[in-house]
Amino acid sequence: MPSPPPPLDLDKLGLATALAKARKSYHEGGVPIGAALVSHSGDTPVVLGCAHNQRIQKSSPTLHAEIAALEDAGRQKAAVYRHSTMVGSPPFSYV
């Protein structure tokens, strides 16, 4: 069986950012899931927006990490989203 390809810089940046946000949510008593919207249109990946799940903290049925990360990114042109990847942290029982 072949080895999986090495992680890209985009993967590393996105996952590190999402995990940091998941830890924040965990320490706030919320659901420990984070997300990061990462642009890969240039030579270096850039985090456009990041957030954590805030359903518990704000009593919101819609503030999942991915939705909150899109909100954090602000309004973007469609072309920006075509060259971006949403990276989410795995759902952990602890972070």
Which amino acids are annotated catalytic? 66
CA dist., res. 16 & res. 92, Å (int): 14
Three-class secondary structure of residue 78 per DSSP: helix
Compute CA 49 distance to the chain's CA centroid, rounded to the nearest angstrom.
Answer: 8
Are 80 and 5 in contact by the 8 Å Cβ rule? The answer is no
Rounded (10°) CA dihedral 73, 84, 67, 35: -90
Strand partners, 39: 46, 84
